[in-house]
Homo-oligomer: A and B are copies of this chain.
């Protein structure tokens, strides 16, 4: 059970950073919700809160990256793949079921990114790198669907920004409408460049 405690702390921190932000989340809350003592936190994360955030970003990068990859490989058509991913994200906002608390495992972390932009160059770079990473997955899929290289670059950048904004607005409105709108409009955009 060596890593269980570290994982629990990191998982809790990742979730809380996602919903409340870096400065809005105290170490005490992370420890209380994870049920771990403070000694363990500084044992596994000797560089403290900043390291915790760094690893949270890396975890999200890989985990959400795997989700994107999953959708991109499950559908031959980019449009279908993106649509499936968008609908999966949108589904998390259908209240009634308390499933939205897991949304941080599927969607980009605009809050953390925006907070870091002028606060911590380390974290900012980590976020920038993460978005590039996700973007490259869209790019690859677009190219494999026959899009011209420069067009694939442009569209993948567009997708990255658009999704980020749709998620932020969905969180703000407590509604999946912005994500659904994107899923409705996207085909028209793709068609234009095909």
**A interface residues, Cβ below 8 angstroms from B:** 19-24, 110-111, 113-119, 124, 127-128, 131, 154-155, 157-158, 160-166, 168-169, 171-174, 177-178, 181-182, 184-185, 188-189, 191-193
CB atoms of B169 and A168 under 8 A apart: no
Q: Are B181 and A115 in contact (CB under 8 A)?
A: no
Knowing A19-B118, A185-B158 touch, does A131 contact B164 (C-beta < 8 A)?
A: no
13 sample A-B contacts, Cβ–Cβ < 8 Å, listed by A number:
A20-B118, A21-B114, A24-B115, A110-B168, A117-B172, A117-B174, A154-B181, A158-B185, A161-B162, A161-B165, A161-B182, A164-B164, A165-B166
Beyond the given A111-B114, A117-B172, please list 10 additional residue pairs across the A-B interface where CB-CB is below 8 A.
A20-B119, A22-B24, A113-B169, A113-B172, A114-B171, A124-B172, A157-B177, A161-B178, A164-B164, A164-B168
Q: How many copies does the complex hold?
A: 2
Say yes or no: A158 contacts B181, CB within 8 Å.
yes
Whether A181 lies near B161 (C-beta < 8 A) is yes
A165 to chain B, nearest CB (A): 3
**Which residues from chain B contact A189 at a C-beta distance below 8 Å?**
185, 188-189, 192
**Which residue on B lies nearest to A172, using beta carbons?**
B113
Q: Which residues of B contact A165 (CB under 8 A)?
A: 110, 160-166, 168
Which of A20, A117, A154, A188: most chain B CB closer than 10 A?
A: A117
Measured CA separation A167–B139 after assembly (Å): 21
